[in-house]
Structure 1
Amino acid sequence: MAFLLAGTAAAQDVPRPLTDSDFIPFDMEQAAIGHQLFYDPILSGNQNISCAHCHHPDFGTSDGLSLGIGEGGQGLGPDRTPGVGADKIRKRIPRNSPGLWNLGARDIHTVFHDGRLSISDVYGNGFNSPAQEWLPEGLNSLLAAQALFPLTAQFEMAGNVAENQVTGAVHDRIDKGWPILAKRVRTDPRYGPAIVAAFDGVETTEDITITQIANALAAFMAVEWRSTDSPFDQYLAGDDSALSPAQKDGMDLFYGKARCATCHSGPLMSDQEFHALALPPFGPGRTRQWDPYARDVGRMGESNRLEDAYRFRTPMLRNVALTAPYGHNGAFPDLDSMIRHHLDPVGSFMNWAPQTAALPDVPWLQKADFVIWQDQIEMQRVRNKIDIAPLDLSDAEIDSLVAFMHALTGTSVDTPPFGVPESFVP
């Protein structure tokens, strides 16, 4: 979360309710295919991890970890282990796994913590993405484009170089792995005929490409994790009794004194901009080619602008109470500690302890987990780049803000259209 941007004192108006018109319509037959693909390891290089391992509904469509255990790990959620032998992980996922709520909204134009994927015509295909001009054509949404990139990420789903055809192809060029995955899917009797039936213009299984796979995944995620029925949503729709007194107090603080809505603005509760909060750094970082191993400069890694250093995208807040831990690297375990960090970033930074992070034990990575702390210059850079102003709130006011965060949890999150398939094996 990114509260309290300096220089804004005026109270913010509560947003209008979200309606059907705020969301892209998706085909339910395509969503049903995406549902199966999302939980199927067929889309990973070594066929040992699925999208659901890092985005599971039991953990609010995240994984309950500060930094995830990707390709090579075993198990699910906070109990996931780093694997053994030759298959064990070589690196933690550099950033916290974000929740997937309401990503089918029309107004979303930028995704990922550093905004490296956005709506743009810079490459003539509708998107500014790591694939540049090699992004496939025919994608139905920003969400479909987003679904493509974990498949090409070495430590997320692709696997290590020389382990399989997919990661070897990606090593040559980012788009070279997608046709290999598409062939797997179209030659699978569970998927090939179903995709032909669900997609116009696909006459035979030979016509299936990664585009249909990405579009099916997007349809599923958009349908499954659309959330617009929280107590707060009910309040916005006119039900004054939907919020408890504490939640109403928290809402008043959120849109008033606490200035949370400066960044968490609008119906989606995000300005989709980038702000530096001085979160304590740890883990491998999402490094650039010339960076030290552990460094993570945030938005600057995409924009190459020095002023963007250590800034990260404002997350949306529907169901935020379900998606702990918090921050781009999961530095804070609960809403209370995350809010307190916003109130006093420097003090929180100085008092943060490594045991606060939810990191499964990985002995062979232990020395690297906090090696960044030995670089006092880098630590000072992170600590000095703060876009928010300190603010004094009482413990009671913080409790009210936490109560309001819980009022953002949808009432139907436990009864989604599809649910976890019985065939899913963590």
Structure 2
Amino acid sequence: MLKYFYIIFVVLLISIYLIQCNTKNFYETEISNSDLRNLLIKRSSGKGLDFFILPESHEFSKIPQDTSNPLSDVKIQLGKFLFFDPAISFNPKCTAASRTFSCASCHFSEAGFQAGIRQSIAGGGRGHGFMRTKHPLCDSSEVDVQLLRTPSIINCAYQEAQLWSGKLGCCGPNTGSDSLWKKGSFLELNGLKMQGVETQARVGLEAHGFRMSPELITNTIYGTLFDSAFKGSRPDLIYRRFTMAKAIAAYERTVLSNQAPFQKWLRGDSTALSATQLFGAYLFFDKAKCDNCHTGPALNSMSFHALGFNDMTGIDIIDKNDAPKDVTLGRGGYTNLEEDKFKFKVPQLYNLKNIEFLGHGGNFCSVEEIVRYKNEAKSQNPNVTEKYLSQDFKPLHLNNKEIKALVDFIENALYDPNLKRYEPKSVPSGFCFPNADIVSKKQLHCE
């Protein structure tokens, strides 16, 4: 009898060992193109690989857009110029910075259209990109900074509401929240009934001191572009921030990371991903459960989660006494609901390679650091206690090899190497762009 049980015990041990080996081999050495393809089809809710494919920038019918702001070539061209032209930055708080910065000062291609530094500086800064610092002639109270990391405009067409708290935009998660749009605040602009991309562009133009001028309309191609892009509009409104915002939003919606290796793989190039990236992709959509939140073409979602990230604080940060509540409370700072406290919007994941500041507070220095944080699932922010943490914030039990593969997929397979294609060759004003201060001019070789 004992011999019989011993044989059964040995057989069970061998079976368990073989199952573990097969699982290990499947994850580590046997992820094929067809394995990943079948998994993605399963995770697409029956929509197939197309569910994850980003359209080409000229495929307007496939790009999500605001029905009040249909895309057109001329509108996109106008928006591109406005996005990069420092000549429209007439009214910053610090006059020394007037007409020296643009939208692209804080959203430039080399940083994946993010700021590239922990705390972005619009008006009151000087220098380009990763080298941008506070302007010495501007007082800290005059410097135009935020206490949240500047998000990327890449794939923003797939976000109905904008900013980390999702407070800008009339629709999507903000539907029915009209009572929160306080008169006299920027939230009142949600009442224009535009989606988040358009609303954020309109808010940004006013908040950062951008406007059009009669001289630019008369003496450059801007007048012709406005007239063509907004044909039929009232003459007294056609060159205002409302139309400027629509043009900028139209341009932003076409900034898509559709040349990333993963996008090429989705379109049928079976050689686009390395073996490690195939493994990392499989983990992303399977064991790591990343796609519970990061899904669709942009690998994002319009959901909000409390993950216990620290806020933007430190001796290197320019503080603001009038910072809005959503800086620390996230979605809860907008909705005023207890259950929304410390929840921040799920961001898109393309072009994060070499970005040294991640998370809403810019406290993570690399993709690997944030993956390891999520793998351990322990809140770093003492204010975000267990009762607030997302139900999806649980240990992932990834080993070191799996972490490395997942990071390889996010950093390299989701990296579009040619974002410079979205920059203009010049701007109508003739200014050095995206910045025109004396330091930037030298760095950009404009002189």
- 1:45 maps to 91
For residues 90 and 354 of structure 2, the distance between their equivalents in structure 1, rounded to whole angstroms, comes to: 26
Q: Does 1:78 align with 2:130?
A: yes
Q: Give 1:345 deviation, angstroms.
A: 3.7
Question: What amino acid does structure 1 have at the position aligned with 2:205?
Answer: L
- Structure 2 counterpart of 1:416: 422
Cα 1:187–1:417, aligned 2, differ >3 Å: closer, same or farther? closer
- Runs of at least 4 residues of structure 1 off by over 6 A? 284-291
The 8 Å contact of residues 169 and 190 in structure 2, kept in 1 or not, is answered as: no
Which residue is 2:291 aligned to? 261
Write the distance in 1 (CA, Å) between the matches of 2:355 and 2:397: 26
The residue that corresponds to 1:33 in the other structure is: 78
Deviations 1:301-344 (A, max 9, x none): 11110111111000011223264421112111111111111112
Partners of 2:163 and 2:115 lie apart in 1 by 16
Q: Is there any run of 5+ residues in structure 1 with no aligned partner, and where?
A: 1-9, 159-177, 350-378
Cα 1:89–1:83, aligned 2, differ >3 Å: closer, same or farther? farther
Change (3 A) 1:96 1:341: same
User: Whole-Å Cα distance in 2 between the matches of residues 324 and 333 of structure 1?
Assistant: 4
Match of 2:251, SS? helix
The alignment's TM-score, normalised by the length of structure 1, stands at 0.73
What CA distance in whole angstroms lies between the structure 2 residues aligned with 1:341 and 1:400?
A: 16
Figure out how many residues of one structure are paired with residues of the other and give that number.
355
Which one of 227, 231, 240 corresponds to residue 196 of structure 1? 227
Structure 1 residues 255, 147: closer, same or farther in 2, change over 3 A?
Answer: same
| Deviation of 1:79 (Å) | 1.4
2:398 counterpart of 1:393: yes
- Mapping for residues 173-212 of structure 1, pairs under 5 Å: 181-182=211-212, 187=217, 189-190=219-220, 191-202=222-233, 204=235, 207-212=238-243
Q: Does 1:214 align with 2:245?
A: yes
Alpha-carbon distance between aligned partners in 1 of 2:321 and 2:164, rounded to the nearest angstrom: 13
In 2: Cα distance, 1:408 partner to 1:337 partner: 17
Rg larger in structure: 2
Q: Which range moved further: 413-422 or 245-254?
A: 413-422
Instruction: Go from structure 1 to structure 2 and tell me whether the alpha carbon gap of 1:135 and 1:259 turns closer, same or farther (over 3 Å shift).
Output: closer
For residue 278 of structure 1, report the CA deviation from its aligned partner. Answer: 0.9
> Following superposition of structure 1 onto structure 2, how do residues 249-288 of structure 1 map, counting pairs within 5 Å?
249-283=279-313
Report 1:243-392 matches (<5 A).
243-283=273-313, 296-321=328-353, 323-346=355-378, 349=380, 379-382=381-384, 384=386, 385-387=388-390, 388-392=393-397
Question: Cα–Cα, structure 1 residues 383 and 75, in superposed 2: closer, same or farther, change >3 Å?
Answer: farther
Q: Which residue of 2 aligns with 1:234?
A: 264
Query: Do the aligned partners of residues 117 and 84 (structure 1) sit closer, same or farther apart at CA in structure 2, a change above 3 Å counting?
Result: same
TM-score between both structures, scaled by the size of structure 2: 0.70
Task: List per-residue Cα deviations over 1:333-385 (Å, max 9, x = no partner).
Answer: 111111111112427x3xxxxxxxxxxxxxxxxxxxxxxxxxxxxx5222544
Q: 1:287, CA displacement in angstroms? A: 7.9
Gap runs ≥5 in structure 2: 1-38, 93-97, 441-447
Counterpart CA distance in 1 for 2:74 and 2:324 is 45
Alignment root-mean-square deviation, CA: 3.3
Selected match of 1:112 from 163, 170, 188: 163
Change in CA separation of 1:250 and 1:72 when aligned onto 2, cut-off 3 Å: same
Q: CA deviation at 1:196?
A: 1.5
Q: Tell me which residue corresponds to 2:148.
A: 95
80-89 or 399-408, larger mean C-alpha shift: 80-89
Structure 2 counterpart of 1:234, one-letter code: K
Taking only the aligned residue pairs, the percentage that are identical comes to 26
Q: Equivalents in 1 of 2:187, 2:226: separation in Å? A: 27
* Residue 205 to residue 189, structure 1, CA distance change in 2 (3 Å): farther
CA separation of 1:123/1:336 partners in 2, compared to 1, >3 Å: closer, same or farther?
Answer: closer
The one-letter amino acid of 1:386's match is L
CA distance in 2, matches of 1:26, 1:273: 26
Seen in structure 2, the aligned counterparts of structure 1 residues 132 and 67 have a Cα distance that, compared at 3 Å, is: closer
Taking the aligned partners of 2:91 and 2:244, their CA distance within structure 1 comes to 15
Structure 1 residues 327 and 185: CA distance shift in structure 2, 3 A: farther
Aligned-residue offset at 1:152: 3.2
Matched AA of 2:328: D
1:104 and 1:418, CA in 2 relative to 1: closer, same or farther beyond 3 A?
farther
Q: Distance in 2 between matches of 1:304 and 1:203?
A: 39
